[in-house]
Structure 1
Amino acid sequence: MSEPRIVVIDNHGQFTHLEGRALRDVGVDSEILDNDTDPANINADGIVLSGGPSMDRVGRCADYLELGVPVLGICLGLQFIADELGGRVESGDYGGYADVDVRILDDDDPLVGSLAPETRTWASHADEVVEAPDGFTVTADSDVCGVEAMSDTDRDLYGVQWHPEVSHTERGQAVFQNFAAVCE
């Protein structure tokens, strides 16, 4: 089987280029595309919705959820998925980036289960998901946030609040490997 092709949708986040590199480092054919790219021009086995500064700048991300391929939302990408599908996002108590110890709640989850029982992450909680949408399972939490990760395995939609692509996050590459396996 050939390597999966996963596109990273650039929501103007400061770490987007690292997400593309992390995917390439785990053997994935990856490309970064602007978030106003026509969905008809996206040929991918999976999509990563990058982090970014504002929900007002997510371009055509709603259209990408309709492409029928697995989607991984990172930080703003997670928040976008939750908001778009009926969950709730609110301002968090911790706005700056910090180390956060995350508890994995489902060791069978295809995205974060392999990180159980806990992992140290690098995250901002300026905004956070406070209620996951219907169909999603909360797969990780922390003392800072009740929804650090969520999954809807029936629709292959996943998200993490933290940034697996940065070196400060332990075992971040495992998140990208796991997502690549979902996309194969």
Structure 2
Amino acid sequence: MKHDRILILDFGSQYTQLIARRIREERVYSEIHPPTRSLDWIREWSPKGIILSGGPASVYDEGVPTMDPEILQLGVPVLGICYGMQIIAQLEGSEVAVGRREYGRAELSVAESDDLFHGFLPDESSQVWCSHADHVDQPPEGYRALASTETLPVAAFGHTERPIFGVQFHPEVAHTPRGEEIISNFLLRICECRPTWTAGAFIQESVERIQAAVGEGTAICGLSGGVDSSVAAALVHRAIGDRLTCIFVDNGLLRKHEREDVERTARKHMGVRLVVVDATDEFLVALDGIEEPEEKRRRIGHVFIDVFGRVAKEEGTGAGHLVQGTLYPD
């Protein structure tokens, strides 16, 4: 199944990953990309909507991230959050007011409860979280104010004809209790996304992609016992079965019973083929007399690569694919 997709353009916000998480909670697929993505790339990627994240900069600073103004002409719904709202205002010809820093809770009063604020009562007060220095006092021409706070005459705006919206607060954080409703309204009502991206769908699609990539070949995986490598190993094992070989390297620096826990989980619960190598002596020799933390990390990394490579040649059954699990932000 082809899922509807939301493109998040990241302007450096500390909350960008939270935006992606809120979208996932609505069972919609999203990806985070830099705002330097070209119009042609965005058209080809074909998002159902675009979210512009916040960021630490002022739109007036030199060398700050911005975006192609033609993005606002694509006909794709856009939601700007904090700095993202200010970018929209500036590109659309409105002045961004400078220098009134606000950090903390505020009470939002909704003027129009259609579209973005569907489900809110007119003039209903709702807590939101603000974290900004600049703000917008007047919406750009063709836009209307949708909400305000005591200090922000335009806490949210929307275009009168195009599906373009901006909010000066952060709906993605827990301190905005009804923020998930605002994000849901944008995704499901404005962008008309289908909520089809579930964990089950992700597993099935991942298995199919792995099977297509590996074919009749084999694979090896460095299994640490952590979430990342364990999930990767579980998906690949589901896809190709015993043609996956997992390698666990005991470096002699593990927590108590950690090796036994990994062996039990991998073999009994996951059912994978696991090779365990005790390389304690090699690691301890390499670390002997070393006190500087970064040098320790460097040596541990080098020894691990040497040990893993050696064992992979011995036990990897000529594997043509390497399985690696890592965090999404990395």
Give the TM-score of the pair, scaled to structure 1: 0.92
* Cα contact 1:4–1:183 (8 A) shared by 2: no
Amino acid at match of 1:81: I
* Residue range with higher mean Cα deviation, 76-85 or 58-67: 58-67
Give secondary structure in 2 for the equivalent of 1:18.
helix
What is the match of residue 110 of structure 1?
Answer: 115
* Cα contact 1:72–1:158 (8 A) shared by 2: yes
Measure how far apart 1:53 and its partner are.
Answer: 1.6
What is the match of residue 147 of structure 2?
Answer: 140
Measure how far apart 1:167 and its partner are.
Answer: 0.7
What is the match of residue 12 of structure 1?
Answer: 12
Whole-Å Cα distance in 2 between the matches of residues 33 and 13 of structure 1?
A: 12
Matches within 5 A, 1:70-85: 70-85=77-92
Amino acid at match of 1:128: H
The equivalent position to 1:69 in structure 2, one of 76, 81, 103, is 76
Measure how far apart 1:2 and its partner are.
Answer: 7.1
Amino acid at match of 2:163: D
* Cα contact 1:92–1:125 (8 A) shared by 2: no
The equivalent position to 1:156 in structure 2, one of 138, 155, 163, is 163
* Residue range with higher mean Cα deviation, 140-149 or 124-133: 124-133
What is the match of residue 59 of structure 1?
Answer: 66
Unaligned runs of 5+ in 1: none
Whole-Å Cα distance in 2 between the matches of residues 159 and 99 of structure 1?
A: 18
Measure how far apart 1:9 and its partner are.
Answer: 0.3
Q: What is the number of residues matched between the two proteins? A: 182
More strand per residue:
1
Measure how far apart 1:168 and its partner are.
Answer: 0.7
* Mapped pair 1:35 → 2:30: no
Give secondary structure in 2 for the equivalent of 1:40.
helix
Amino acid at match of 1:37: R
Measure how far apart 1:92 and its partner are.
Answer: 4.7
What is the match of residue 183 of structure 2?
Answer: 176
**Highest RCO, 1 vs 2 (Cα 8 Å, sep ≥ 6):** 1
* Cα contact 1:119–1:171 (8 A) shared by 2: yes
Amino acid at match of 2:96: V
Measure how far apart 1:174 and its partner are.
Answer: 0.6
C-alpha distance 166-61 of structure 1, shift in aligned 2 (>3 A): farther
* Cα contact 2:66–2:87 (8 A) shared by 1: no
Amino acid at match of 1:111: L
Larger radius of gyration: 2
Whole-Å Cα distance in 2 between the matches of residues 23 and 153 of structure 1?
A: 25
What is the match of residue 98 of structure 1?
Answer: 104
Measure how far apart 1:106 and its partner are.
Answer: 0.9
Task: Report % sequence identity.
Answer: 38
* Cα contact 2:39–2:68 (8 A) shared by 1: no
Amino acid at match of 2:171: P
Amino acid at match of 1:65: L
Whole-Å Cα distance in 1 between the matches of residues 140 and 174 of structure 2?
A: 30
Whole-Å Cα distance in 2 between the matches of residues 12 and 130 of structure 1?
A: 24
Give secondary structure in 1 for the equivalent of 2:18.
helix
Give secondary structure in 1 for the equivalent of 2:133.
strand
Tell me the C-alpha RMSD between the 2 structures: 1.7
Amino acid at match of 2:9: I
Whole-Å Cα distance in 2 between the matches of residues 125 and 147 of structure 1?
A: 14
Whole-Å Cα distance in 2 between the matches of residues 17 and 36 of structure 1?
A: 18
Give secondary structure in 2 for the equivalent of 1:119.
strand
What is the match of residue 165 of structure 1?
Answer: 172
Unaligned runs of 5+ in 2: 193-330
Measure how far apart 1:149 and its partner are.
Answer: 0.4
Give the TM-score of the pair, scaled to structure 2: 0.52
